[in-house]
């Protein structure tokens, strides 16, 4: 039996009478990498904001691990294991790479650490921090203030701070946006290793990246689902080709 970690049913969002998202039924399989694509204005951002509960739906339900979350707040949803990533604003510029990841780990651990001896707590924390930093390929920049990192490295640092929260599912908002050509393959590798044992839903415009990374693709147009399937299936779909070419 298929296992779906996230299910949106009849999801709609109206802004002053205009449907940005209309009657969307989206199911994301556990441990898959799923892409949400569509031309500008298709409703991708609104969908992301609904799924992470930054926005309230006009109608519809959202279930994460079979629990209704549409009326929850983003902090609660994040503590349940559904986290949004790739916002550089989440990185503290003056702090080093190590310090940024440490802060994220402390945030996750919360009060637990208060019962530990400080030196022991720091040792465990740093071992995990080094592991996460290695996973995103930033070991060379361990003591570099985040503000001095390249744009691409800032983004993967943000991803490391997201994984520190131990999410079961990560929503990635255009992970390749603004990256230089040479950064795309390494970031794809990082996303692949982050995806092990997790589920990823991403909005992305780079079709080569989607073709290589994603198990399943949902195409939105004018707030509605136009097509869904493997990349090969949707990229051959005449309605999808028309949506992109016909604009
Ligand atoms: P995408 O991310 O696919 O480009 P969006 O979700 O940003 O699409 O937008 C979908 C549609 O909803 C667009 O027509 C946009 O203008 C409209 N929209 C998005 N947010 C708002 C808002 N807060 N108020 C009014 N209209 C909005």
Domains of the chain and CATH, by start: 1-81+168-247 (3.40.50.300), 87-166 (no CATH)
Helix/strand/coil for 221: strand
The H or E element containing residue 243 is helix 238-245
Query: Ligand 1 pocket by C-beta < 6 Å: which residues?
Result: 15, 20, 38, 40-46
Q: For residue 201, what are the β-bridge partners? A: 34, 171
Please determine, for residue 111, whether its predicted confidence score (pLDDT) is greater than 60: no
Q: What is the pLDDT of residues 201-224, one digit of tens each?
A: 999 999 999 999 999 999 999 999
Ligand 1 atom 16: the closest Cα is on which residue?
41
Residue ranges in 56-96 assigned as alpha helix (H) = 74-80
Q: 116 falls in which pLDDT band (50, 70, 90)?
A: low
- pLDDT tens for 37-94 read 999 999 999 999 999 999 999 999 999 999 999 999 998 998 899 998 866 667 888 9
The CA-CA-CA angle for residues 7, 173, 159, to 5°, reads 105
Helix (H, G, I), strand (E, B) or coil at 83: strand
* Closest C-alpha residue for ligand 1 atom 20: 46
Cα(224) to ligand 1 centroid in Å equals 13
Alpha carbons within 13 angstroms on the beta-carbon side of residue 175 total 30
Return d(Cα 155, Cα 149) in angstroms, integer.
Answer: 9
Tokens of 169: 């599912």
Parallel/antiparallel/unpaired status of strands 216-221 and 33-37: parallel
Which residues lie below 8 Å from residue 61, measured CB to CB, with a gap of 6+? 8, 9, 10, 11, 68, 70
Locate the ligand 1 atom nearest the alpha carbon of residue 18 and give its number.
26
**Residue pair 190/162 in contact by the 8 Å Cβ criterion:** no
Pocket probe for ligand 1: among 13, 15, 22, 222, the residue whose CB has the most ligand atoms within 8 Å is 15
Separation between Cα atoms, residue 117 and residue 145, nearest integer Å: 28
Q: pLDDT category, 198, cuts 50, 70, 90?
A: very high
> What span, in angstroms and rounded, lies between the C-alpha atoms of 159 and 153?
10
CB 204 within 8 A of CB 175: yes
ipTM above 0.95? Answer: yes
Ligand 1 pocket: which of 13, 45, 51 to mutate (most atoms within 8 A of CB): 45
The confidence band for 31, taking pLDDT boundaries of 50, 70 and 90, is very high
Q: pLDDT value at position 166?
A: 87
């Amino acid at each position: 039996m298929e296992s779906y970690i996230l299910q949106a049913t009849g999801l709609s969002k109206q802004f002053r009478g205009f449907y940005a998202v209309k009657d969307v039924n989206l199911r994301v399989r556990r441990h898959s990498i799923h892409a949400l694509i569509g031309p500008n204005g298709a409703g991708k951002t609104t969908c992301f904001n609904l799924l992470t509960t930054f926005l309230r739906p006009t109608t519809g339900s959202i279930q994460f691990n079979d629990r209704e979350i549409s009326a929850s707040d983003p902090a609660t949803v994040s503590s349940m294991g559904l986290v949004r990533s790739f916002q550089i604003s989440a990185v503290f510029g003056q702090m080093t790479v190590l310090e940024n990841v440490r802060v994220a780990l402390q945030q996750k651990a919360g009060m637990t650490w208060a019962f530990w001896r400080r030196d022991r707590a720091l040792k465990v924390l740093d071992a995990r921090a080094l592991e996460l930093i290695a996973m995103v390929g930033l070991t060379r920049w361990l003591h570099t203030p985040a503000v001095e990192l390249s744009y691409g490295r800032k983004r993967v640092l943000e991803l490391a701070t997201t994984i520190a929260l131990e999410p079961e599912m990560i929503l990635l908002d255009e992970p390749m946006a603004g990256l230089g050509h040479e950064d795309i393959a390494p970031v794809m590798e990082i996303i692949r290793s982050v995806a092990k044992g997790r589920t990823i839903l991403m909005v992305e415009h780079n079709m080569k990246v989607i073709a290589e990374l994603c198990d399943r693709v949902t195409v939105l147009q004018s707030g509605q689902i136009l097509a869904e399937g493997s990349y090969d299936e949707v990229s051959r779909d005449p309605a999808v080709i028309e949506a992109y070419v016909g604009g």
